[in-house]
Amino acid sequence: MEKKITLTVQDMHCSNCAMRLQALEDEVPGILQVDASYQKQRMDVVFNDSLISETGILDAVKIAGYTAIIQ
């Protein structure tokens, strides 16, 4: 089932950071869409919860080098 969560990413400081996080939609199975804004330090993630959990998304963000919390 398709779900959406919003994450606060405190260490996203530039447009390259946002682009790196948006690349997760191509790299991580189950992540369908990422909209990241470094100005707001926020990212919206649309995902298939039968393929990846919220914890899995947080782990993928951590592996990318960032720290996130679910809003």
Give the per-residue pLDDT at 10: 87
User: Tell me, what CATH number does 34's domain have?
Assistant: 3.30.70.100
Instruction: Give tens-digit pLDDT for 6-57.
Output: 999 989 999 999 999 999 999 999 999 999 999 999 999 999 999 999 999 9
pLDDT mean over 63-70: 96
Residue range of the domain that includes 47: 2-70
pTM: 0.93
pLDDT of residue 56: 98
Backbone angles phi, psi at 46, to 5 degrees: -100, 130
pLDDT the model gives residue 39: 96
Query: Rounded distance, CA 58 to CA 18, Å?
Result: 15
d(CA 69, CA 10): 9
Q: What is the pLDDT of residue 50?
A: 97
Q: How many structural domains does the chain have?
A: 1
Count Cβ atoms below 10 Å from residue 25 Cβ, excluding itself: 17
